[in-house]
Amino acid sequence: MLIIDTEACIGCGLCEDNCPFDAIHVEDGKAVVNDSCTLCGTCVDHCEVEALSIARDEKEGIDLAAWSGIWVYAEYRNGKVAQVTNELLGVGTDLAAQRGVELAAVLLCGEAGDIPQQLIAAGAHKVYVVEDPALTNFTDDSYGNAMEDLANKYKPEVILAGATAIGRSFIPRVATSLKTGLTADCTDLAIGEDGHLHQTRPAFGGNIMATIMCPKHRPQMSTVRPMVMKANIPDANRQGEVISEAIAPERLKSRARVVRSVLSEGEQLNLSEADVVVSGGRGLDNPEGFKLVEELASLLDGAVGATRAAVDSGWIGYPHQVGQTGKTVASKLYVACGISGAIQHVIGMKSSETIVAINRDPKAAIFDVADYGVVGDLFEILPRVIEKLKERRS
Amino acid sequence: MRIVVCIKQVPDAKDVRLDPVTNTLSREGVKSVINPYDRHAMEEGVRLKELYGGTVTVVSMGPPQAQAILREAISCGVDDAILVSDRAFAGADTLATTYTLSQAIKKTGEVDLVLCGKQATDGDTAQVGPGLAVRLGMPYVTCVKKITGVKGQVLSVERMMDDGYDEVEVDLPALLTVVKEINVPRFPSIRGLRKAKAFDIPSYTAADIDADPDQLGLGGSPTWVVKVFPPEAKGDRTMLEGSLDEIVEKLAEILSDSAHGA
C-alpha cells in the first residue's frame, strides 16, 4: 500500500498533479489515496518532502533461482513459422545474454520437418519439439496443456509469445494455470539491474506507457506484437540442440475441435507489408471524408489504414485498423489524416520510415511522431493534393 | 440455457486525453460506458436466450458506480445483474480479476455458457476471458465472430484467426470471447428501461463469494506496475507552413518522393 506520512506531508499537491491514475488528492491539507492506486510510484518520485512511500506485503515468494532460461513460443501454422517468432528470438537473444542463460524455442506441431533448424538459425540455442497429430490444429486445451507441462518440467524464467490470434488466445491460459503474471502487447523488454524482466506496454487505453514487473512469480510471461522487435539475421551455420518431448495423450485431448480452417484470400489486406499506408481517423468526420483517404492511397499505390475510432464509427472495416488492437505497420511512407495520435494508434505505425501528419489541431499528439506536419483542414488540403498528384502522374 | 455475461465499465475511449502539460490523463468530462466489446457479448446472450430459451445474467466487477452499466444491461434485455464490489478487489491485475470473477460466477450457480468481450478498451489485454475459463474449468474459444448452432451439449462457432477463420465445435459448458462482427447490439426497450429503473442490483463482497483474501486486489496480483511515463516524442519534425497552395505543392512533392522511394 501507499504510506502517507501525514506529519511530513505539506499538502502541496505535487502528488495529485502527477498521478496518472487520479488516485491521490489533497484533502484538508493532506494527501489521501483512493482505490485507483496501482502503486506505480509516480507520486513517491515527485514528493519533495519524502512523505510518501510504498510498502508491499512481503509474502513468501517462490524460489526464483529454480527458474532459469528464456523461452520463445514458436508459432507454426499452415506450414509457416510466424515472423513474430523470429523477432522474439531476436529480443530473446539479448535477454538471454544479459541473464547469462540459454534461449530456447518451443515448437508444438503435427509434424516438425526442418522447422527446428530454422529456429536455431534464427537464434535458438535449444528447440523443444512436441510432434503429435493432436497438435496439427490449434486448440487452447492441447496447446495450453503442452506448454504448461513443459514449463513445469523445465522451469524457464521467461516465456515470450507473439500477440497474435493464437498467442493471445492460449498464452493467458498457460499463465493462469501456472498462477503467474502475464503482460500483453509489450513494446519493450529488458532485464533490469534487479535481474527481473521489465515489460513496457501502452496502458490506460494506450494514452500512457507503463513498465510492469512480475517479481515474485515465475515464469515471467509476455506477449509482443508483430513488427515491434528486431529479428536476428538467420545463420544456417548456427548450432543448437533439438529435444523431442512427448506430452501425455490425455493432456492433448481438447474440449474444442477445429472442424475446418478457412483462409481468407483475394481481399486479404497486406497492410503490414505495404510500402505506403494512408490512414484516416476521427477528423474525417464521416464515411465520405474517408473516401479522400482511399483516393489518396490509391494514387500513391498504397494501402488504406484507419484508427480504432474510424473503425468503431463504421467508416471502414476492422482489417484496416492500425494500432495496438489492429495491425502493426512499418511502411516507407505513412500518411496520417485527421488522426489525433493516441498511443494505441501510434504503437502500430511509429516504425514507419517517413510519417506525414495532417490535423487541424496544432497540439495533436500525432505531430510528436511525425517527420512532416501540416496544420489545416483536411477537406481543403486533401482534394488539392489529390489533384496535384494526378497532374504529376499524367 | 443459463448464460452469464461479464461486462466492465470503462472510460469512453474517445474522451481520454493526455494532458500535454502535466503528462497525466485528463479525466475531465470523461464518461464511463460499457466496454464496447461487452455490448456484443450481452447482445449475443440475449439473442441465444430468445432462440433457445434460458436466462441471461450480467456480472460486473468494479466500484459501486458500475451499477450504472448493469442497469443499462437490464434495459437491453438481460434478466439479472450482479455487481461484484469490494475495496479488497482494487488494483487487481488479470490473474486476481479472473479469480474474483470466477468465485462470483460460481456463487450464482450452474452455468452453461459464459460470454465476454474479446478485451476491454482500457486495459486491452484480452486475458480475462481465457483466464476466467481456466478458473471455471471450462473450455473456451476466443474472438468468436459467429455462433452457428447448438446441438445437445456442443456449440458450433467461428473464431477469427490472423489468416482467416476456423470453424470450431466446443463442449458446453464453455466460455466464449466475442468480437464486434458477431452482431449489432440492440437499443434499450421502453419495457427494459422500466424494468431497469426498478431493478434492485445485488452486490457481492469478498466475503459473499468466499474469496481467499490473498488472491484479491493488488496483493493477489503477480504483476506490479513499477513505472508510468508519457510516450516519447520523435522530436525533429518539419511543419509545412505558408499559403494553402504552397503547403499543397510541398506536401504533394513529399508524398510522391517518399512513396516512390526517390
The ipTM estimated for the assembled molecules is 0.90
In this prediction, residue B188 has a pLDDT band, given cuts at 50, 70 and 90, of: very high
DSSP string computed for B164-219 = EEEEEEEESSEEEEE-GGG--PPPPPHHHHHHHHH----EE-TTTTT--GGGSTGG
Q: Is a pLDDT exceeding 60 seen at residue B22?
A: no
Query: How is A75-122 classified by DSSP, letter by letter?
Result: -EETTEE-HHHHHHHHHHHHHHHHHT--EEEEEEES--TTHHHHHHHT
Q: Which chain A residues are within 8 Å of B117, Cβ to Cβ?
A: none
Q: What is the pLDDT of residue A76?
A: 96
Q: Measuring CA to CA, how many Å separate A214 from each of A132, A153, B220? A: 33, 20, 12
Q: How far apart are CA B91 and CA B88, in angstroms?
A: 9
Q: How far is A290 from chain B (nearest CA, A)?
A: 18
Take residue B67 and report the three cell numbers written for it: 451499477
**Contact status of B31 with chain A (Cβ, < 8 Å):** no
How distant is the alpha carbon of residue A301 from its chain centre? 28
Q: What pLDDT score was predicted for residue A266?
A: 45
| Tens digits of pLDDT across chain A (394 residues) | 899 999 999 999 999 988 888 889 999 999 999 888 888 888 999 999 999 998 877 666 788 999 999 999 999 998 889 999 999 999 999 999 999 999 999 999 999 999 999 999 999 999 999 999 999 999 999 999 999 999 999 999 999 999 999 999 999 999 999 999 999 999 899 999 999 999 999 887 666 789 999 999 999 999 998 888 999 999 999 999 999 999 999 999 999 999 999 887 544 557 877 889 999 999 988 888 889 999 999 889 889 999 999 998 888 888 899 988 788 888 889 999 999 998 889 888 988 889 999 999 998 989 989 999 999 999 999 999 999 998 887 7
pLDDT score recorded for residue A17: 87
Beta strands A276-280; A303-306: pairing state: parallel
C-alpha cell at A285: 468526420
Distance from CA of B163 to the nearest CA of A (A): 6
Per-residue pLDDT, A342: 87
* pLDDT value for B262: 43
Which member of B17, B164, B180 has the closest CB to residue A264?
A: B164
Contact A370 B231 (CB under 8 A): no
Pairing of strands A30-33, A24-27: antiparallel
- List the grid coordinates of A318: 476492422
Q: Which residue has the cell 518522393?
A: B257
| Mean per-residue pLDDT of chain B | 91
Is the pLDDT confidence value at B174 over 90? yes
A vs B: CB pairs below 8 A: 303
Of B165, B119, B120, B128, nearest to B146 by C-alpha is B165
Q: First-to-last CA distance in chain B? A: 63
Q: Which three cell numbers stand for residue A315?
A: 467508416
Q: Residue A21 has what pLDDT?
A: 80
Q: Which residue of B has its CA nearest to A367?
A: B237
**How far is B234 from A350, CA to CA, in rounded Å?**
9
Q: Cα separation of A147 and B94, whole Å?
A: 20
Residue B3, min C-alpha distance to chain A (Å): 19
Peptide bond into B173 cis (omega under 30): yes
- CA-only gyration radius of chain B, Å: 22
Using a CB-CB distance cutoff of 8 angstroms, which residues of chain B are in contact with residue A57?
219
| A166 closest CA partner among A78, A233, A43, A238 | A78
Cβ-count burial of B153 within 10 angstroms (0-12 exposed, 13-18 middle, 19+ buried)? exposed
Across the interface, which of B24, B164, B169 has its CB nearest the CB of A256?
A: B169
Residues found in chain A: 394
The verdict on B50 touching A (C-beta cutoff 8 Å) is no
Q: Do A204 and B181 touch (CB under 8 A)?
A: no
Q: What pLDDT, in 10s, does the model give residues A305-321? A: 999 999 988 888 888 99
- DSSP code, position A322: B
Determine the Cα–Cα distance for residues A328 and A315; give it in Å rounded to an integer.
20
What residues in A contact B156, CB-CB < 8 Å?
259
Phi (first) and psi of residue B33, to 5 degrees: -135, 170
> Which one is predicted more confidently, B41 or B233?
B41
Of A38, A185, A207, the CB nearest to B16: A207
pLDDT tens sequence across A16-62: 988 888 889 999 999 999 888 888 888 999 999 999 998 877 666 78
Q: Which of A18, A202, A254 sits opposite B24 (nearest CB)?
A: A18
Nearest Cβ partner of B124 from A173, A325, A363?
A325
Among A368, A375, A390, A391, pick the best mutation site for testing chain B contact (most B Cβ within 10 A): A368
Does B18 have pLDDT greater than 50?
Answer: yes
SS3 content of chain A, % helix, strand, coil (to 5): 30, 25, 40
Q: Which residues of B touch A181 (CB under 8 A)?
A: 93, 95, 221-223
Residue B21 confidence (pLDDT) = 56
Q: What is the DSSP string of B51-117?
A: HH--EEEEEEES-GGGHHHHHHHHHTT-SEEEEE--GGGTT--HHHHHHHHHHHHHHT---SEEEEE
Most A CBs within 10 Å, among B34, B226, B243, to test the A interface: B226
A328 within 8 A of A321, measured Cβ to Cβ = no
pTM of the shown model: 0.86
| Helix (H/G/I), strand (E/B), else coil: A6 | coil
**Which B residues, 64 through 123, put their C-beta within 8 Å of a C-beta on chain A?**
87, 90-91, 93-95, 98, 119, 121-123
Query: Hey, are the CB atoms on B252 and A261 less than 8 Å from each other?
Result: no
- For residue B56, the distance in angstroms to the closest alpha carbon of chain A comes to 23
Q: Which residue of A has its CA nearest to B37?
A: A312
Q: Map residue A294 onto helix, strand or coil.
A: helix
Shortest CA gap B54–chain A (Å): 23
Looking at beta carbons, which residues of chain A come within 8 Å of B19? none
Task: Give mean pLDDT, residues B82-111.
Answer: 96
CB contact under 8 A, A207 and B180: no
Query: CA–CA separation, A251 vs A234, rounded Å?
Result: 34
For residue A309, list chain B residues with Cβ-Cβ distance below 8 A. 13-14
Task: Report residue B203 as a C-alpha cell.
Answer: 452486490
Among residues of chain B, what percentage have pLDDT more than 70?
Answer: 91
Residue A57, judged by CB atoms within 10 A of its CB (0-12, 13-18, 19+), counts as exposed
For residue A14, give how far its alpha carbon lies from the nearest alpha carbon of chain B (Å): 10
Test B256 with A255 for CB contact under 8 angstroms. Answer: no
pLDDT of residue A153: 98
Answer whether B223 touches A (CB < 8 Å).
yes
Q: By CA distance, what is A377's nearest residue in B? A: B244
Q: How far is CA B181 from the centre of its chain?
A: 15
Which of the four pLDDT bands, split at 50, 70 and 90, describes residue B136?
very high
From A266's Cα to the closest Cα of chain B, the distance in A is 11
Instruction: Say what the alpha-carbon torsion angle B201, B206, B209, B213 is, to the nearest 10 degrees.
Output: 160
What kind and span of H or E run contains B256? Answer: helix B244-259
A220-224 vs A182-186, strand pairing mode: parallel
Residue A174 grid coordinates: 498457460
Dist. CA A375–CA A362, nearest whole Å:
6
What is the CA angle A338-A291-A329, rounded to 5? 60
Q: How far is CA B66 from the centre of its chain?
A: 13
Distance from CA of B134 to the nearest CA of A (A): 6
> B71 vs chain A: nearest CA distance in angstroms?
23
Rounded Cα–Cα distance for residues A131 and A247 (Å): 9
Residue with cell 481456466: B134
CB < 8 Å from A in window 56-75 of B: 63
Q: Which residues of A310-341 are buried (b: 16+ CB within 10 A; e: fewer)?
A: bbbbebbebebbbbbbbbbbbbbbbbbbbbbb
